[in-house]
């Protein structure tokens, strides 16, 4: 067991601070990664503050991890020391159940081992995330980060990237489709970039007028303010697909009205409280309301390769770990352009 410096939340209301964790010695199938950068996802905040319930403390958040392979086990074939590697939201699963066999490990029937706020598959050993200097992960759950991608900008692809890529693929986003993206934050800005790269005509639906210029720079053709009731009337029946990334409770019914007949709104944002959906919002126009949780390992690698080919990374603001509590407050205020990424060198200083 190696002792590893990290930042942890000791309890739901506690600010994050320095903490030491233990990582296992790498086994025959494991990769030991020196972490370079870790993105700050809104899910880190929801979980560190126990907003979804059931959080485990102390918690070392972080599931947007990019680093350099330091050491590999005897049976590892995909990686060698020096390679750039990524770790997303999962570090293991049973590998044998129906969802695992269908490359949907996030829905493992025995419960996937999530990167933090969970346990390994032994259901005893706690998992700790990327706000730390090193991680040890089975090579099956370790991703290859394409050469040529900036490592800080690539880190958010491991969650924000796959979480938006996967529903765009599942609902077959194609050139000419009208796609609405709701909420211009970490997930939202990746959704705009990815949908635009797939040829869709993207409209940003935001509460922040000041983000309009950025939305257009990221690839949106249209921009509409959702704080203006007129928007919902003007855009009624417009979109084939809406990717909804809002992290707080809001009225889904209003947004469903902006779908075309048979259009789909996919929820990727996870507001802690439930919100009622009226049957009328769905039956008028055979509209569909769907959800999507990250993506399996195979699709995550496909997304990274796609981003490598299309030179897509996240727009990031790199921070030292000492600024993490301030960064959380700014994310909650919607004041981030568009993902904070921790420079893990600051944890070694
Ligand atoms: P983020 O950077 O905070 O972005 C969320 C955006 O939603 C904000 O920038 C803001 O955009 C908008 N927003 C926030 N509060 C709002 C409100 N009360 N009303 C309307 N709009 C509001 O968060 P993120 O990291 O992108 O994550 C977004 C959500 O997705 C979180 O709930 C997170 O837990 C969840 N998530 C889900 C998955 C999954 O697998 N499904 C994966 C990762 C994250 P504007 O300023 O443009 O309005
Ligand atoms: Zn995330
Ligand atoms: Zn399984």
User: 349 pLDDT exceeds 80?
Assistant: no
Closest ligand by atom to 49 CA: 1
pLDDT, residue 33, reads 98
Test site for ligand 1: of 334, 336, 341, most ligand atoms within 8 A of the Cβ: 334
The reply to whether ligand 1 has any atom less than 6 angstroms from the CB of 5 is no
Ligand 1 neighbour 187 (Cβ under 6 A): yes
Indicate if ligand 1 lies below 6 Å from the C-beta of 334: yes
Give residue 298's pLDDT. 98
With 80 as the cut, is the pLDDT of residue 19 above it? yes
Q: How far apart are CA 180 and CA 241, in angstroms?
A: 6
Q: What is the mean pLDDT of the chain?
A: 97
Angle at the Cα of 301 (from 69 to 91), degrees rounded to 5? 60
Per-residue pLDDT tens over the stretch 119-131? 999 999 999 999 9
Domains of the chain: 2-159+315-348 (3.90.180.10), 161-291 (3.40.50.720)
Identify the pLDDT of residue 13: 84
Give the pLDDT of residue 25: 97
Q: Which ligand 1 atom sits nearest the alpha carbon of residue 208? A: 46
Count other Cβ atoms within 10 Å, centred on residue 225: 16
Model pLDDT, residue 283:
98
What is the predicted pLDDT for the residue at 348? 87
Q: What is the pLDDT of residue 178?
A: 98
Please tell me which residue, 349 or 217, carries the higher pLDDT value: 217
Q: How far is the CA of 240 from the centre of ligand 2 (A)?
A: 25
Residue 139 pLDDT level (bands cut at 50, 70, 90): very high
The CB of 248 under 6 Å from ligand 1? The reply is yes
Q: Does residue 324 have its Cβ closer than 6 Å to ligand 1?
A: no
Q: How does pLDDT run across 166-178, given as a tens digit for each residue?
A: 999 999 999 999 9
Beta strands in the chain (DSSP E): 2-8, 17-23, 30-39, 65-72, 84-87, 90-92, 113-114, 134-138, 143-144, 178-182, 201-206, 222-225, 239-244, 259-267, 288-291, 316-320, 339-343
Using a 6 Å cutoff on CB, does residue 184 contact ligand 1? yes
Q: Is 285 touching ligand 1 by the criterion CB < 6 Å?
A: no
Burial status of residue 178 (CB atoms within 10 A of its CB: 0-12, 13-18, 19 or more): buried
Q: 258, 176, 189: which is closest to 224 by C-alpha?
A: 258
Does pLDDT of 3 surpass 80?
Answer: yes
Mutation to probe ligand 1, out of 38, 39, 42, 206 (largest number of atoms < 8 A from CB) = 42
178 Cβ closer than 6 Å to some ligand 1 atom: no
Q: Say if ligand 1 is within 6 A of residue 247 CB.
A: yes
pLDDT of residue 62: 98
CA of 329 to the centre of ligand 1 (A): 13
211 lines ligand 1 (CB under 6 A): yes
Whole-number Å distance, alpha carbon 49 to ligand 2 midpoint, is 15
Q: Give the atom of ligand 1 at the shortest distance from the alpha carbon of 339.
A: 2
């Amino acid at each position: 067991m190696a002792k590893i410096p990290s930042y942890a939340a000791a309890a739901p209301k506690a600010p994050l601070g320095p903490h030491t964790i233990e990582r296992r010695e790498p086994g025959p199938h494991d990769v030991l990664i020196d972490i370079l950068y870790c993105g700050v996802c809104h899910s880190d905040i929801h979980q560190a503050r126990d907003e979804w319930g059931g959080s485990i403390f102390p918690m070392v958040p972080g599931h947007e991890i990019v680093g350099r392979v330091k050491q590999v086990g005897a049976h590892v074939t995909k990686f060698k020391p020096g390679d750039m590697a990524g770790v997303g939201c999962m570090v293991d699963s049973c590998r044998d159940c129906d969802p695992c066999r269908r490359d949907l490990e996030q829905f493992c029937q025995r419960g996937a081992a999530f990167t933090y706020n969970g346990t390994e598959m032994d259901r005893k050993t706690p998992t700790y995330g990327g706000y730390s200097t090193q991680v040890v992960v089975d090579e099956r759950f370790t991703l290859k980060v394409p050469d040529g991608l900036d490592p800080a900008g690539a880190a958010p692809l491991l969650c924000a990237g796959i979480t938006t890529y996967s529903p765009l693929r599942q609902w077959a986003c194609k050139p000419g489709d009208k796609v609405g993206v709701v909420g211009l934050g970490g997930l939202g800005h990746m959704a705009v970039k990815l949908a635009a790269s797939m040829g869709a005509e993207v409209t940003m639906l935001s509460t922040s007028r000041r983000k309009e210029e950025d939305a257009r720079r990221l690839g949106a053709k249209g921009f509409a303010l959702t704080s203006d009731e007129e928007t919902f009337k003007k855009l009624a029946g417009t979109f084939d697909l809406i990717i909804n990334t809002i992290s707080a409770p809001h009225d889904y019914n209003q947004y469903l009205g902006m779908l075309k007949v048979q259009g789909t709104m996919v929820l990727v944002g996870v507001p802690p409280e439930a919100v009622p959906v009226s049957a009328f919002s769905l039956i008028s126009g055979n509209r569909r309301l769907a959800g999507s949780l990250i993506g399996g390992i195979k699709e995550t690698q496909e997304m990274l390769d796609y981003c490598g080919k299309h030179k897509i990374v996240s727009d990031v603001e790199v921070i030292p770990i000492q600024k993490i509590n301030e960064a959380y407050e700014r994310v909650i205020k919607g004041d981030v352009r568009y993902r904070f990424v921790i420079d893990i060198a600051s944890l070694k200083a």
